[in-house]
Structure 1
Amino acid sequence: MPRCMANQRGVAILVALGVIAVLFTAGLELNRRIRASVSSAIRAREQLVLSEMARSGAEVAKMMLITDRKENNTDTVQEDWANPEKVSEMLELIPFDTGALDVTIADERGKIQVNALVKFPEGREFNPTQRLLWERLLEQVFAMFEETLDSDPNMVINSMKDWLDQGDDDAITGLSGAESDYYEQLDPPYSCKNGPFDHLGEIALVQGVTPELFYGAGGVGGIESLLTVHGLSKNEANKFTYDGKINISTADALVLSSLLPSESSELAEALVEYRVAKNDETYINQINNTTWLKNVPGAAGLDIGDDLVTAASDLFRIVSTAKTDARTCTLTTVVQREKEQETGRWTCKTLIWQIE
């Protein structure tokens, strides 16, 4: 065989091998992309299913709240919406092929309204009863930490007031408040809002509200779970305001103790136990008014102003979590229960929602 033909055959073999290598590599890459696309589609489908499950759970919670309002005009820890077992029973009415659903409902009126710390809509001066409430709360929380925080109750309260007070960015409150000139020196810089808080995360921006104080640390819970930015309503002058009233029939023990005089703060746990006391499966104490706490042993002499307490609510936080073996989706919704003027129907209006 002539040498030139042998060389041509050798080149042809090399070219063929090169083409095969390229095609093999391209095939592997195509296979990888197809597998990635399929995996992505599966993940997207699972996430969609989970998000719809979570939304279903939120709708069940809204239905329970509406049903409750049709039956009575008070809200307590003794009602079905506040009972995890009753909520679970309702969720069983909407079975799913796979996964599980967990829903909790919490009363936002059982928390401290941060925007009520100043008189609104004027927004220039402290609301005295709310300031006292904050002083009692922060004294207790600060005392729980073993290590001293880089802050103090007075700094937090004064700085909160400066953040809230409207049109007043020239002078700080007391010696420990903070206006824009303080915040603009931070990294990154930002301005003092001089207005109501719109979401809880804003509170962590205020001078003195350290991460430990806000989120909790070392086994001590933070103040985040005790506060709400919601509660806007109209006053007698038909102006929007934050009345700052707390539902004593749903409030946390720490919030209850902040409502009480310092010398009586230990009664908070007794109030909590009184609310849930049962004989077999039946609650034995009525807590559907603002005077029930006087029936608690040792609390007969308590006098909490009517401007601070209520036994009804219109604001609720719904946390609906859908789970499979591999994934979780949580929908958090704050709703306001209200009656439509045109139809007379009770509805739950969504104020905020967040899905994770």
Structure 2
Amino acid sequence: MSRTPSGIYRRQRGVALVTALLVVAIATIMAVQLMGRQLYDIRRTQNLVEREQAQTFIRAAEDWTMELLLDDRREGDAVDHLNEFWAQPITPPPFEDVSLTIRIEDMQSRLNVNGLVGATGELVEPEALRLSRLFTSLDVDPSIVPAVADWIDPDTEVRFPDGAEDDYYSRLDPPYRTANQPMASITELRLVRDMEAEAYERLEPFLAALPEATSVNVNTAPPEVLQTIADGLSVDDAQALIDARPPDGHPDVADFMQHEVLAGREVAENLLAVGSNWFLMRVEVRLGNTALRGETLVFRGDTGTARPVLRRQGFL
């Protein structure tokens, strides 16, 4: 069959039309992809900028906190109590599209687990007693305390009868080893033998893992901690100690010890204080679509200096 010129022309025109439509479709797809990638890159850049700005606000809050704590020490005495400005929830003046909330906690209102073991690895009995009392009052088995000491002490000798060293942990699945050094974070307590998650949640608000041995500040400690300073103290006794606090705090430990609740009781007064050097700053920053939380452990020295010791950050 012969093909007429007009038929060939119609077929060529149809092929050209299909080709043109295909080119347009491909160009459209590429344009959509490029636009999507551009929007993604813009959003990613915006998120990075917002996060960088939020981190800057956290560092600024950290500097402000340290200056606030130093001013508190310079303007007053060595007494720290819960009626001071630093102990109140702090909301700075609002910035454009930014909300900032700061909380400062006295970490010497807690029991410091790293004080459980002395410099040469020996068990500090008064600290062990306080920790055992806290465990008991919160319905946690106090037999875990020797295992906590074994986790911290520098040797691999198991404390009798309830300690635990590498021989125990290496047989777990997965296996791991003891730290044999002070805890860097109280979360390490979850790794100690027989420490269940529920028990840890009850203990965590009253424990700290500070780099050095510390005393408990009787002006800021909650009743659960004050209950541990002597045998036989009830929750009501601890609350009575709190109710008797002067508005500006006890000026010294001797004044605190005058309370009738403590009469005739054996108290390790050298492990008590009315001032603090260790504080935890918690800050929340909301900026645009970014919500960031930061924590900084701050050490305020007696020589008029303050420094950050440990930082943590995460998204809300």
- The whole-number CA distance in structure 1 between the counterparts of 2:15 and 2:146 is 85
Flag the 1:270–1:339 CA change in 2: closer, same or farther, 3 A: closer
1:204 paired residue among 177, 190, 199 = 190
Equivalent position SS for 1:266: helix
Structure 2 match to 1:60: 64
Higher-Rg structure is: 2
Residue number in structure 1 paired with 2:109:
110
Asked if structure 1 preserves the Cα contact closer than 8 Å seen for 2:151 and 2:180, the reply is yes
Give the structure-2-normalised TM-score: 0.90
Q: CA deviation digits over 1:302-322, x for unaligned, max 9?
A: 552222111121111111111
Secondary structure in 1 aligned to 2:300? Answer: strand
Q: Contact 1:290–1:311 (CA<8 Å) still a contact in 2?
A: yes
Relative to 1, partners in 2 of residues 1:173 and 1:298: Cα closer, same or farther, differing over 3 Å? closer
Instruction: Please name the residue that 1:194 is paired with.
Output: 180
Q: 1:66-85 to 2 correspondence within 5 Å?
A: 66-71=70-75, 72-84=77-89
Q: Residue 257 of structure 1 is aligned with which of 224, 227, 234?
A: 227
Please state how far the C-alpha of 1:208 moved relative to its aligned partner.
1.7
Mapped partners of 2:302, 2:216: distance in 1: 21
What percentage of aligned pairs have identical amino acids?
A: 26
CA distance in 1, matches of 2:313, 2:238: 34
Deviation of 1:81 (Å): 1.1
Distance in structure 1 (CA, Å) of the matches to 2:174 and 2:211? 31
Whole-Å Cα distance in 2 between the matches of residues 302 and 328 of structure 1?
49
> Aligned residues, how many?
309
Residue 227 (structure 1) aligned with residue 207 (structure 2): yes
- For residues 17-54 of structure 1, the C-alpha deviation after alignment (integer angstroms, 9 at most, x for no partner) is 11111001111111111111122222222222322223
Q: Distance between the aligned counterparts of 1:119 and 1:295, measured in 2?
A: 29
Q: For residues 172 and 303 of structure 1, what CA distance do their matches in structure 2 show? A: 29
In structure 2, how many angstroms separate the alpha carbons of the residues matched to 1:230 and 1:302? 28
**1:280 matched residue in structure 2:** none
Distance 1:316 1:286 in 2: 17
The Cα of 1:263 is off from its aligned counterpart by: 4.2
Range moving further from structure 2, 285-294 or 36-45: 285-294
More deviation, 255-264/300-309: 300-309
Relative to 1, partners in 2 of residues 1:175 and 1:294: Cα closer, same or farther, differing over 3 Å? closer
- The aligned amino acid for 2:226 is L
Unaligned runs of 5+ in 2: none
Which of 257, 264, 276 is the equivalent residue of 1:313? 276
- Secondary structure of the equivalent of 2:72? helix
Structure 1 match to 2:152: 164
CA–CA distance in 1 between the matches of 2:175 and 2:234? 43
- Does residue 133 of structure 2 align to residue 136 of structure 1? yes
- Is the counterpart of residue 333 in structure 1 residue 296 in structure 2? yes
C-alpha separation between the residues in 2 aligned to 1:327 and 1:302? 53
Q: Is the 8 A contact 2:217 2:274 kept in 1?
A: yes
Q: Secondary structure at the match of 2:138?
A: helix
TM-score (norm 1): 0.80
Find the residue that maps to 1:335 and give its secondary structure: strand
Structure 1 segments of 4 or more deviating over 6 A? none
